[in-house]
Amino acid sequence: MAVIPHEPVVIWYGAHYGIWLTAIVATVGTLLAAWVDHRAFVPLIRKVQHTPFFAEGVIGWLRVRFARAPFLVLAASGVTPLPFFPFKAMAFAEHYPLARYLGAVAVGRFPRYVLLAWLGVVIQIPTWILVALFAIMLLPLVRLIWKRRSAK
């Protein structure tokens, strides 16, 4: 899961290095992160997936729906602004195979990165605006860190 916002960076790189190179490099980076996530979180989720929280109620209902078309759900959530993490967690809980998971991530993220890189080329957003946007998107992370440090 990307904690650091990458959208402004993809827009900037698109304007400076081209749409296709930017989209390919961003997708490869995302696939590497997805591989690490799969290797790290699948064992953790397997330990708790049989608890009532994961098997019953809304989560259980969502898992059943997700299992009907996991590739489509993962790819669609990767290309849209929907939060990706809940669907990723469901893929891990449903033992979705790593190769298919990575394929769905690539199919979803590559078009998103092409669009963001294309925006960088077409709109020519000034660098200072992208830096400001990046900083604004970091605020929730900074707040979280600040609260944790203050609590100690």
Hey, which of 12-16, 41-45, 48-52 has the most confident mean pLDDT?
12-16
Torsion of CA 81, 35, 97, 50, to 10 degrees: -80
pLDDT of residue 8: 83
Query: Which stretches of the chain are DSSP H helices?
Result: 7-17, 19-48, 52-55, 57-68, 70-79, 85-93, 98-123, 127-151
- This prediction has a pTM of 0.78
Flag the least confident range among 26-30, 110-114, 138-142: 138-142
